[in-house]
Structure 1
Amino acid sequence: MLPLRVTLISLLVAASTLLHVVPLLTVAIVKALLPFRRLRRASNRLLTGVAESWIGVNNRVLDGLLQTRIDVQQDVALQQDGHYLVLANHQSWVDIIVLQHVFNRRIPLMRFFLKRQLFWVPLLGLAWWALDFPFMGRHTPRQIARRPELAGRDIEATRRACGKFREIPVAIMNFVEGTRFTPAKHARQGGPYRHLLKPKSGGVAFVLDAMGEGLHAILDVTIAYPDGRPSMMDLVANRVSEVRVHVRQRPIPAELLHGDYQNDRTFRVRFQQWMNGLWQDKDADMDRLLGG
């Protein structure tokens, strides 16, 4: 039964991907050739509609073939035409499936900042490009120390992406820890959080600086797996019985907009303190969601 389920899910998701990527790329090419801004904006709605249909079909496949229960706790009225910054903890690639399941057609299509190498993923890389997902270099501190101009490239890429996002309803997604949680990474960091890695504030600061008042709220999302952190194979093999999600809406502090995170040390410290406070709340949420 297990091989049959995994094979069936894989085939149905692959068929859904092929079915949606062709019209997605067709609309993207037409959009690139259109001479008028109003027509290009209309194309954005078509692209978003195709992507939401793609996610919706995949969600129905998983709902129909798996017994995973996603328990969502929230006290916020979501807006499909809003402008959100979505911040979440990161434990597994399953997180992305969970986020899409929770938010598809309830908020604008989520755009992730992706590593540049992911552009070459067959079909998906082109789909992400067509949807204006920003591709980033993700340089290490050692690389930036040797070549400081690399940091400027990612900042400029963020500004270009956010310039496009100002024109459309958007949910900009950021896994603030920068990597998936593992016990080994947690031990190496020696951070103050029981369930989380330390937050990385730079990307959030650059988005707030570039978008400014173009964002109206933060969606603070906490994802917990009571059975332990799953792999994607655990999910499709029906070994994930429950996922618990808490969604909290937070205002964007006005004093954190338009600051110079890179060069103003006082602002950087203040921004990091704010992020650390969010992460302390999230760690408490994780403790509650896991029943600990």
Structure 2
Amino acid sequence: MSQSITYYFRYIAKHIYWLLIKLLTLLITLGSYYAYAEYTIVILLIQIFIKSMCSRQFYIDCVDSIYQFYYRYACLLIDYWANIKITLYGDIELVDKLQANNVLALCNHQCGVDFFNVHYLLNRFGKLSRVRHVTTEPFQYIPLAGHSFFMHSCIYLKRGKGDKFDPTQMIKTLTYLETNNIPSWIVLYPEGTFYDKVYTDVLADNRRYMNKIGVQPFKHLLMPRSRALKTIHKQFGHRFDAVLDITIVYPNTRAGNGLRRSTPSLIEYFSGYHNLVDIHVRLIDVRQVPKAEEELDNWLYELYRQKDGQLSQYYEQNRSISEIFDCPPGQEYRSDPRTTLPSLLGTSIVIGFLIPNPLYIYNIIVAIVLIITLIEVFIILTKC
């Protein structure tokens, strides 16, 4: 194959390739929900088979690997579908070098997109298989995502009558993680719900509550709730090697003059409307986290009071993340397609067996993408 033919093939294939990738990702999403029942049955059968035929440790490793494989597909969507520019700040290199099996990550919470950005960040650290989100119990009923979280031993927070906190399910999951010595990077959103100006009732209730307990209401965060943190710290705290303080900022929400636009919805995010994300990470020595419950309350409040002050500088003084957090300029990051593309192709093949036969176009696109991928790999290997 001559150099000129190789060049033109790769030029044309590149544009066709990513066009087909976008179409394929759309069909995967639609197909996944269309074939949700079949997908769930297949996953449950695989789960039962592995549990009955293999050791518990092998089952845990398989579940973690499947979770990582599945959600790397979302990382590919962020990079090549929505073309989101994610910039990382803070102790990124320190976390890269961190030899830790168990970590507690505390993150501000603005919208549903936060889940994907945290996944993206921890995939950057090579810890996506160890992520255990703390989320509310109704989340497990969301098609696909809810079942994957449950299967992966994510921690469901249950509320009883009158919004009363019930730690029973959390304790059960944390005990399971500890008993089986499962490495876990537990992600907790202490605010409990989204901070967004569209949720006027939530913001008003938060202001009333903070005034009631005699503290100044935050401008850009909700009052952090410590009940889940206390439960995690009591049951699992002795296993943590470090704590991460994560702050996610959506630059397109900065409207100027101290004003703030609404945070992105999932549709806005994956359509590329909100195409900028800044993430600051601070590594905290686990020994700084107090053990006494009252001290833990104060520690969490101070952490979020400081974070709110930093966000106030961002929105009201138009300062950069580097200036506010006193850190070097951020580094734009994109996930490695060698790890995310196999996830897309693997997911597409699985879904291809489940969606109805009339969608032959789906199978044709998968075949073309696979062929172009194999030819590109062949060209690289033979150095044509």
TM-score between the two structures when normalised by the length of structure 2: 0.62
CA gap of 1:97–1:14, structure 2 versus 1, over 3 A, is farther
Supply the AA of the counterpart residue of 2:223.
K
Q: Which residue does 2:73 correspond to in 1?
A: 57
Structure ranking higher in helix proportion: 2
Q: Which has the larger radius of gyration?
A: 2
Select the residue among 76, 97, 107 that pairs with 2:116: 97
2:100 and 2:50 mapped to 1: Cα distance?
21
Q: Which residue does 1:106 correspond to in 2?
A: 126
Moved more, 122-131 or 221-230: 122-131
Q: Which residue does 1:216 correspond to in 2?
A: 241
2:264 and 2:141 mapped to 1: Cα distance?
26
Instruction: Indicate the percent of aligned positions where both proteins have the same amino acid.
Output: 21
Q: How does 1:1-292 map to 2 (within 5 A)?
A: 9-13=25-29, 25-33=44-52, 39-75=55-91, 76-78=94-96, 79=98, 82-104=101-123, 106-107=126-127, 108-139=129-160, 142=162, 144=164, 151=165, 154-166=166-178, 167-183=181-197, 184=200, 185-190=202-207, 191=210, 192-228=217-253, 229-253=263-287, 256-257=290-291, 259=292, 267-268=293-294, 270-287=295-312, 290=315, 291-292=318-319
Contact 2:134/2:189 (<8 A) preserved: no
CA gap of 1:163–1:231, structure 2 versus 1, over 3 A, is same
Contact 1:223/1:286 (<8 A) preserved: no
CA gap of 1:143–1:255, structure 2 versus 1, over 3 A, is closer
May I ask how many residue pairs the two structures share in their alignment?
A: 268
1:252 and 1:80 mapped to 2: Cα distance?
14
2:43 and 2:313 mapped to 1: Cα distance?
41
Deviations 1:50-72 (Å, cap 9, x if unpaired)? 11111112211331122221111
CA RMSD in angstroms, aligned pairs only? 3.0
2:142 and 2:133 mapped to 1: Cα distance?
15
Supply the AA of the counterpart residue of 1:160.
K
Moved more, 54-63 or 86-95: 54-63
Shift of 1:83: 0.4
CA gap of 1:283–1:143, structure 2 versus 1, over 3 A, is closer
Shift of 1:101: 1.0
In structure 2, runs of 5+ residues without a counterpart are 1-19, 211-216, 254-262, 320-384
Report 1 or 2 for greater relative contact order, CA contacts < 8 Å, sequence distance ≥ 6: 2
CA gap of 1:286–1:98, structure 2 versus 1, over 3 A, is same
Q: Which residue does 2:351 correspond to in 1?
A: none
Contact 2:106/2:189 (<8 A) preserved: yes
1:193 and 1:71 mapped to 2: Cα distance?
25
CA gap of 1:63–1:23, structure 2 versus 1, over 3 A, is farther
Q: Secondary structure at the match of 1:47?
A: helix
CA gap of 1:21–1:250, structure 2 versus 1, over 3 A, is farther
